[in-house]
């Protein structure tokens, strides 16, 4: 009799073997569901540095091509995910944990990102037009150019109450798409 082993997560069978990166979420059974975001959520919450740098490839979620527009992702654990090219327009991400995520060239237009933890997230080239960052942790987050060389779009973004150091704010100020109100809130020179 041959016995097989099955690794279980809080959501069911593991999507990848230890040391192996799982397939993009869009290619998984069920695809880009809210439930798929819960795969390895405890590991990603506790070990965002390791997941974000690829040291725990089996816990990485690749959300590329997924469309979460208009959905409620409040409180979801998105730490270390690869969200390059994903659509979060008009989504509610209040209180979401997304430290060290790769959010380049993604669409966040009109998203409610109040109280989100976006520590060290790379938003380069993303559309963040009219995003509400009230009370968000944006320490070391990057809002520069994406892979195609386009600046992150920051017009209409609400920066009031967002947590940024003065050096973080000055890096945001380098982005030519920050509007006058944003420049005033950020203290751009």
- Per-residue pLDDT of 102-113, as tens digits, reads 999 999 999 999
Residue 17 lies in a domain: no
Give the CA distances from residue 108 to residues 32, 69, 82, 153, 165, in Å, rounded to whole numbers and listed in that order.
16, 8, 14, 10, 23
What is the CATH number for 106?
Answer: 2.160.20.80
The whole-number pLDDT of residue 23 equals 79
| Residue 152 contacts residue 177 (beta carbons within 8 Å) | yes
Cα distance between residue 143 and residue 159, in whole Å: 13
The whole-number pLDDT of residue 31 equals 83
Cα distance between residue 58 and residue 80, in whole Å: 11
Supply 77's token pair. Answer: 């654990």
Residue 82 lies in a domain: yes
Residue 7 lies in a domain: no
Residue 43 lies in a domain: yes
Torsion of CA 147, 150, 151, 152, to 10 degrees: -70
The whole-number pLDDT of residue 18 equals 60
Residue 126 lies in a domain: yes
**Low-confidence residues of the chain, pLDDT below 50?**
1-14
Q: Residue 117: which of 142, 92, 100 has the closest Cα? A: 100
Cα distance between residue 103 and residue 126, in whole Å: 7
The whole-number pLDDT of residue 117 equals 97
The whole-number pLDDT of residue 46 equals 78
The whole-number pLDDT of residue 17 equals 60
Cα distance between residue 8 and residue 146, in whole Å: 36
Residue 171 lies in a domain: yes
Cα distance between residue 20 and residue 86, in whole Å: 22
Number of separate domains in the chain: 1
- Which pTM does this prediction carry? 0.85
The whole-number pLDDT of residue 19 equals 62
- Domain span at residue 163? 22-189
Residue 14 lies in a domain: no
Cα distance between residue 181 and residue 183, in whole Å: 5
Residue 16 lies in a domain: no
């Amino acid at each position: 009799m041959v016995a097989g082993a099955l690794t279980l997560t809080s959501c069911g069978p593991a999507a990848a073997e230890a040391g192996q990166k799982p397939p993009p979420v869009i290619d998984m059974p069920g695809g880009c569901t809210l439930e798929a975001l819960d795969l390895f959520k405890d590991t990603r919450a506790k070990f965002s540095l390791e997941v974000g740098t690829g040291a725990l490839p089996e816990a990485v979620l690749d959300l590329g091509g997924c469309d979460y527009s208009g959905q409620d992702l409040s409180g979801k654990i998105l730490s270390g995910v690869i969200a390059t090219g994903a659509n979060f327009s008009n989504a509610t991400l209040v209180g979401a944990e997304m430290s060290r995520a790769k959010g380049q060239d993604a669409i966040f237009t009109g998203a409610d990102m109040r109280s989100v933890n976006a520590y060290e997230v790379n938003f380069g080239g993303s559309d963040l037009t009219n995003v509400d960052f009230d009370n968000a942790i944006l320490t070391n987050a990057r809002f520069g150019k994406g892979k195609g060389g386009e600046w992150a779009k920051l017009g209409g973004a609400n920066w009031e109450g967002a947590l940024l150091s003065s050096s973080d704010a000055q890096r945001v100020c380098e982005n030519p798409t920050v509007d006058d109100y944003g420049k005033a809130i950020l203290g751009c020179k």
